[in-house]
Structure 1
Amino acid sequence: MNYETSTIAADEHLALPGGEVDRRSRRRRLYIALAIGAMLAVGILWYAMAGSRGQETLPKAAGARSQQIPAISVAVPGRDTVRSIINGTGSLAARREMPIGIVGEGGVVTRVLVEPGTWVRAGQVLATVDRSVQVQTAQSLAAGVEVARADARIAQTELDRALQLVDRGFISRADVDRRQATRDAARARVSVAEAQLAEARARNQRLDIRAPEAGLVLARAVEPGQIVQGGNAVLFRIAAGGQLEMLAQLSESDLVRLRPGVPAQVTPVGSSTSFEGQVWQVSPVIDPQTRQGIARIALPYDPALRPGGFASARIMAGASSSPLLPESAVLSDSDGNYVYIVNARDETERRAVTIGEVSDQGVSIASGLDGTERVVLSAGGFLSPGQKVQPRTVSLQR
């Protein structure tokens, strides 16, 4: 049955007139052309859309690349006057401390006339010792002087009479010579008695404990009723002229930089007041155990400066002109200290530097910079040499 149907369809096709066949053929070509046109239109539309997306992507990519260049703060440090300051600690003391004891025979102390903190003049009596026995001895010696003087006057009178009688022949020349010798011996006894009296009075004066120089009494170690004797016992301590000093302990390297006469500021512990002084002596020896020496700073008298107290010192060892940077700008590694600078092409360069003084104001650069470079202030640890950056110049706060 299928075979018959197909045969009939073929026969009918062959039976169609030629105009009908041409119309079908043209219709088929039209459909094909329309399909190809649609495909071309779709392709053109897709290409146009892809191009627009590409144009939008290019600025975004350029912006992304620009965002990858870091923006950093830089500064031109210039050159500043940097003071070389040495810090040290130590104790306060009298610049010239004088221990005072008794130089006489000693005895019982009857009065103490000064207290610690008292200003005294040279020769002022600080304390007295009982001298009742010594006074009686001195009075006895004074009486002996008078007796000797009376004997000397009698001897002189007898000699004068003998000289008048010898011319008349009443006495011999030998008697005159004996009277003259008696007169000379009497005069000698007067001199001896006067010397003994002066010695006794001098001893009595030495019973008074006196200040050898004007100054400030720092301490006393004697009370009324105390028995004192001559020797090494120290009864008073005086700061000559009231002058004080600080014994600043410094390292060996710091002492090399000091010279007598440089100024210093001394601040006692517990006080916010600083006192001006100056170094008057640098220790000529170094302690082999601590590797430190002493710088002696002279100070004027002030009640706030107490010998034996602790203090800190800032010694101005000198000044120099050098670039000054904040601590964040200076980096270090196994090769030493360095900074990053930005060249004319806005690229980073590593520059080795030598650090000078470090203070609250910043870090001075002893060598490696002349002050005209653009120095990276921070974030240097995240940079690498030759890296492109966007520098933003800022001014340093002094």
Structure 2
Amino acid sequence: MSIFRQFCMIFVFGTIITTAITAQAQPPKSPTPVDVTPAILTEFVDKFEALGTAKARESVTLTASTTDKIKDLRFSDGMTVTKGTIIATLDIDEEIAELRAAKANLAEQKRELKRVTNLVKARTFPTARLDEQKTLYEKAQAEVQVAEARIDDRQIVAPFDGVLGLRLVSPGALVVPGTPISTLDDISIIKLDFTVPETVLASLRPGLTVKARASAWPDKVFTGKVTTIDTRINPVSRAVTIRAEIPNPDAALRPGMLMTVELIHNRTLALTIPEQALLADQDKNYIYVLNNDAVQKKFVTIGRRRPGHVEITSGLKADENVVIAGTIRVRDGSPVKPTFISNRSPKSDPTSSSVTTPTPKNNEDTP
């Protein structure tokens, strides 16, 4: 062996021994300070937003059913009426005269029927004469009913309780069948129709809560319930129509209003952590979990997100403490000095609501 090779071997062995001695002489690495917080269960609220049009509970355009002149209008614009209230009458003088004549004829036929009945009993008149008189009496009754119906046709009445709209005719105006006189709406309850994709049909049912807003009342939320789910799905849009009813005691909502609808159709509990605890390794996600006085690297599967929080579907258990600050200074197995931070789930709002935060684990390890 040459002197040069001997020298190289001595140098290498010396370097190794020196490095080992130096490493043994160094003090142990101090724990890295980190912030940790427990994984918690959070309520996730699935919702769908849509646009809907407000409709009255009942709505009708009051019209004349015959041709004649308006004799009397018995309402004012915006008047509240009850079912059966007479709104307007047409000229009925001729019909009243016909009714009087029909009633007089009915009274006469009734008297004659009584007389003929007595004579038949006395066998003065044949039975056929009684049958003839009964027919005349029934005919007189029908004539009275026809006269009363003609008068009813000339009286426009409210078919249900509600609020009248604007007056569209004046007294003396000639109207024909179908001429609008006013509108009547029952707005004590507002019907709200909107559409949702067929993909959420399985989670829909009557009784679900809807929250609606109208541009006329930007700071007010109107709450109602789903009452009906249409039996058919639109083959073009692949959407189904939903009808909800919203109480409207103060008449703030009016038919025809465009409303923004928020339908809450599903609530589930999910395990969540703060977003800052989540780290990426190529196409995988991982976190650091507190394990006694060190951290352990765990790969996890994520799900839904909410502002500041992310759902963990696998790889983590509830109450396990995850590192949320100091992650770039630690590695798998690194000793740490944890500071426990309370984990607050997202505030209750249309997208989520909080559940009580569990007590942090490993409090005995807190220095």
Are 2:225 and 1:264 equivalent residues in the alignment? no
Corresponding residue for 1:167?
A: none
Aligned-pair CA distance for 1:127: 2.9
Letter in 2 for 1:209: I
TM-score of the two chains, using structure 1 as the length reference: 0.63
Corresponding residue for 1:89?
A: 50
Aligned-pair CA distance for 1:396: 1.9
Corresponding residue for 1:377?
A: 324
Map Cα deviations across residues 202-241 of structure 1 (whole Å, 9 max, x no partner).
2211322223333x337467423454434596953433x8
Alignment RMSD (CA, Å): 4.1
Corresponding residue for 1:278?
A: 225
TM-score of the two chains, using structure 2 as the length reference: 0.67
Aligned-pair CA distance for 1:196: 0.5
Higher relative contact order, chain-length normalized (CA < 8 Å, sep 6+): 2
Larger fraction in strand: 2
When structure 1 is superposed on structure 2, of 204-213 and 344-353 the one drifting more is: 344-353
Q: 1:247 aligns with which of 179, 190, 193?
A: 193
Q: In structure 2, the residue corresponding to 1:242 is in which secondary structure? A: strand
Corresponding residue for 2:289?
A: 342
Q: 1:76 aligns with which of 38, 42, 67?
A: 38
8 Å contact 2:277–2:288 — kept in the other structure?
no
List gaps (5 residues or longer) in structure 1: 1-57, 164-175
**Structure 1 residues 236, 371: CA separation in 2 closer, same or farther (over 3 Å shift)?**
same
Using the aligned pairs only, state the percent identity. 20
Kindly name which structure, 1 or 2, has the bigger radius of gyration based on alpha carbons: 1
**Structure 1 residues 107, 313: CA separation in 2 closer, same or farther (over 3 Å shift)?**
same
**Equivalent residues in 2 for 1:134-283, closer than 5 Å:** 134-149=95-110, 163=124, 176-177=125-126, 181-182=128-129, 184-214=131-161, 216-217=162-163, 219=165, 222-225=168-171, 226-230=173-177, 235-239=182-186, 242-269=188-215, 270-283=217-230
8 Å contact 1:76–1:371 — kept in the other structure?
yes
8 Å contact 2:211–2:223 — kept in the other structure?
yes
Map Cα deviations across residues 253-306 of structure 1 (whole Å, 9 max, x no partner).
333322212233333333322233222223444334444333322211232222
Q: In structure 1, the residue corresponding to 2:220 is in which secondary structure? A: coil
Letter in 1 for 2:269: S
8 Å contact 1:92–1:244 — kept in the other structure?
no
Cα distance between partner residues in 2 of 1:366 and 1:88: 26
When structure 1 is superposed on structure 2, of 273-282 and 287-296 the one drifting more is: 287-296
Cα distance between partner residues in 1 of 2:263 and 2:209: 6
Cα distance between partner residues in 2 of 1:293 and 1:318: 17
**Structure 1 residues 188, 296: CA separation in 2 closer, same or farther (over 3 Å shift)?**
closer
Q: In structure 2, the residue corresponding to 1:138 is in which secondary structure? A: helix
Corresponding residue for 2:265?
A: 317
8 Å contact 1:77–1:324 — kept in the other structure?
yes
8 Å contact 1:262–1:317 — kept in the other structure?
yes
8 Å contact 2:290–2:323 — kept in the other structure?
no
Larger fraction in helix: 1
**Structure 1 residues 288, 231: CA separation in 2 closer, same or farther (over 3 Å shift)?**
same
Letter in 1 for 2:195: Q
